[in-house]
A = this chain, B = another copy of it.
Amino acid sequence: MNLVDQPDPPKVAGGEAERQTELIRLRYRDDMAADGPWNEVIATILSHRSVRAFLPTKLPAGTLERLVAAASAASTSSNLQTWSVVAIEDQARKDRLAILGAEQKFISQCPLFLVWCVDHSRLHLAGAERQMTLGGLDYLEPFMVGVVDAALAAQNAAIAAESLGLGFVYIGAMRNRPEDVAAELGLPSGVMGLFGMCVGYADPTRPADIKVRLPQNAVLHREQYHADSMPEVIAAYDPRLVEFQREQAMRETPWTKLATERVKDIEALRGRDRMRQALNNLGFPIR
């Protein structure tokens, strides 16, 4: 077996060409060309939709370990591996975490709830072992490293889950009350729950759909950032999101309104304005 072998060249034919066109159309709802390299991995990634209604069906044996292996395979800054994941299946604990997580009922409902953590505790242990104080960990930068490490690991697990026919949704509300989440999960100093992830089989009676995103000329910049055209690019996105909301029988709200309301003032942060204090309490000085 030669691990350096490259995957088969992409093939696009018949039903796959139609699938490709549809996935790109639903993602952007603009005149974005659908052609380009294609394979099953890319199709899996482009098919993502967040699932918020789950069947009670348990995951097959070995699935959690496979998702964590996918997470371990992600890149990590300087091999520091400053992340951990807590896997919760106990119903009472899921119910308590749902209360901490803005009472989102799918936290209780999903068969597997994962809390992805920034984890400096193994570095502190290694430092103690070597009788070092590790003053570098007191700064914002190594906390950012942990946030990136945890997110890369989680996204690998997320793609692996979707490839197995599972659905998931990230739960940012795990940051609403970080100390309470840490207490519930028994996190040591230097560990914080960055976000949750509900995992399970999607309830087919309540299907999720592909959400339309900002167009590529909003997020992709060639050589240098192009800011001049951005107001028109954003304005063009508003009606596409409203069209999606209308199809979903959701309240019709343009992105510019939704997004600005979400960050307009301290109250909109739902307690997360005290994140720095919470992180200090959890062992991250964030200098």
A interface residues with partner B (beta carbon < 8 Å)? 1, 3-4, 6-7, 9-10, 15, 18-19, 22-24, 26-28, 32-33, 35-42, 44-48, 50, 60-66, 68-81, 83-90, 93, 117, 119, 121-123, 125-127, 129-130, 132-137, 139-142, 144-145, 147-148, 151-156, 158-160, 163-165, 169-170, 172, 175, 185-188, 191, 194-195, 202, 204, 207, 210-211, 213-214, 216, 218-225, 227, 230-231, 234, 241, 255-260, 262-266, 268-269, 272-273, 275-276, 279, 286-287
Contacts and interface: CB of A to CB of B under 8 A. Distances in A.
A166 B166 CA distance: 27
B89 A223 contact: yes
Given A42-B70, A81-B214, A1 B24 contact: no
Contact of A129 (B160, B218, B256, B269): B256
Contacts of A148: 147, 151, 172, 194-195
A218 to B, nearest CB: 7
B158 A75 contact: yes
Given A72-B219, A139-B269, A216-B72, A159 B158 contact: no
Nearest to A139: B273
A187 B269 CA distance: 26
Given A141-B272, A264-B134, A7 B164 contact: yes
Contact of A224 (B66, B140, B185): B185
The 6 closest A-B pairs by CB, nearest first: A36-B62, A41-B163, A6-B165, A151-B151, A136-B263, A186-B224
Nearest to A165: B6
Contacts of A84: 218-221, 225
A104 B84 CA distance: 29
A87 B216 CA distance: 12
